Structure 1
């Protein structure tokens, strides 16, 4: 199966938006109990999650509140009552112990930790390998910007690369990018996605359905990339059948294992 590229947030205290998100073209729906929900609405939001996600037929994750909040335990109890296919998104993770505590409370459920602080970035690999239930590693860049005191993307470059490397070292899928806040600036979103793709991200979270098509287009391979990937795979297949060891493309580029794996990833995305 092709990897998911679009992830759409919906605030759990707005059941109408959750329903629209579930009917959207997003590959994964992220139902939010955390930042998007005011303290006075937390209980109602949790009740909505139990009602709307009692049976789901598409990939869904629920973002719960941090263990330091008074809502965390009730959030975990609500997620525990949902189908096992519903993953749990963990905000502001700074230690492996936080992961292990959730894994113990929600056994056999996919965990998706978010790193949102300098300490979390420093411990990225420890967090990524804290439990076999971890299915992805991600960044929460709004809080990270505040913690680092940076105002633009340049200040996040090292942290982004650190999380990408940690995910790869932990044998996880490439991380997805954080949401782009300006829902009207689709050109800026596309440019930002291209820069993130060049770093090694695959896919992005969205805060509005209008962003989904732009995100998908930015992370899908171009026709040129698809053609080159097909040439790589065809050359390898033909050389293997002929018993040839050294393989080169028409432009003279010699192939190695990494290039072949990358070509197969491109074709998987294209399909």
Structure 2
């Protein structure tokens, strides 16, 4: 496992099914997200919370984030009381964030734990930059597209492209990593997943959340650089090492510091290609 600064795959698993969480931990995902919110029925919330706390009583084999319940619910307060003391917790994913105040309040209740805000409403999109800069504990933002689509009354996916670009821009303006894409809900549609990932990559996303292990290799392939991209990046970095300031490559392309930084990021991502392929684990 090599997550480094560029995790590409975030696999969700329901918190009330420890056997599924165990399979997710063995799947090869960069991050496992234990879900206490939508994936867990109301009468199973307490059990899911206890099972997750038990899981994190010792360091897991890969980073584990937990998506807590809606921040305005009593369940969320109980989640934070149970999870905040657990040092093995790598991050909290906060659903339906619509204001920076919610981030600040959560950071006070769970000091020192990295927070990731999910923006799932029109109001959240309008407040994207304020949320992204709300507190130093916030390490990332992302979209929750199912709820956002319902809030906007959007049919299909193209109608969300403005919101997607807004979130990418807000994250980068705040100095946060490029967001990961929201989940592709049809686990059988791997062709559609690959096409959607290519579109997301073109919009500036980096990586994607998944709901089944079979989606992981598709996501990783889509977001890893191609051989041609790696070759071009290597040429740029070599040229930059021999000169100062802006320079021109033999083919006439103009290269400045921003292009060199992008090439270095491409090569950092390319180092993942040598690692074993994502494991295929059924759930």
The 2-side partners of 1:125 and 1:173 are apart by 13
* Structure 1 equivalent of residue 37 of structure 2: 34
Please identify runs of 4+ aligned residues in structure 1 that moved more than 6 A. none
Find the counterpart in structure 2 of residue 180 from structure 1.
184
Indicate if the aligned counterparts of 1:50 and 1:81 stay in contact, CA closer than 8 A: no
Alignment of 1:235-254 (within 5 A): 235-240=239-244, 245-254=245-254
Contact 1:46 1:78 in 2 (8 A): yes
Supply the distance in 1 between the matched residues of 2:119 and 2:178 (Cα, whole angstroms): 14
Counterpart position of 1:164: 168
The size of the alignment, in residue pairs, is: 267
1:75 match: 79
The Cα of 1:69 is off from its aligned counterpart by 1.8
CA distance in 1, matches of 2:195, 2:75: 37
Instruction: Answer yes or no: is the 8 Å Cα contact 2:14–2:20 preserved in 1.
Output: yes
RMSD: 1.0
When structure 1 is superposed on structure 2, of 207-216 and 14-23 the one drifting more is 14-23
TM-superposed deviation, 1:226: 0.2
Question: How far apart are 1:75 and its partner, in Å?
Answer: 0.3
Equivalent residue number for residue 131 of structure 2 = 127
Q: Distance in 1 between matches of 2:71 and 2:270?
A: 40
Q: Deviations over 1:194-245 (max 9, x none)?
A: 00000000000000000000000000000000000000000111224xxxx5
CA distance in 2: counterparts of 1:129 and 1:188, whole angstroms:
34
Determine whether 1:48 maps to 2:48: no
Partner residue in 1 for 2:198: 194
Whether the 8 Å contact between 2:246 and 2:256 is mirrored in structure 1 is no
Change (3 A) 1:40 1:257: same
Mapped contact 1:2–1:269 kept (Cα < 8 A): no
CA 1:246–1:117 in structure 2 vs 1: closer, same or farther (change >3 Å)?
closer
Runs of at least 5 residues in structure 1 that lack an aligned partner in the other structure? none
Q: Structure 1: how far apart are the matches of 2:250 and 2:220?
A: 30
Q: Which residue of 1 aligns with 2:210?
A: 206
Q: Secondary structure at the match of 1:126?
A: helix
Secondary structure in 1 aligned to 2:192? helix
Q: What are the equivalent positions in structure 2 for 1:10-29 lying under 5 Å apart? A: 10-29=13-32
Matches within 5 A, 1:86-165: 86-165=90-169
TM-score, normalization: structure 1?
A: 0.96
**What is the Cα deviation at residue 246 of structure 1?**
4.6
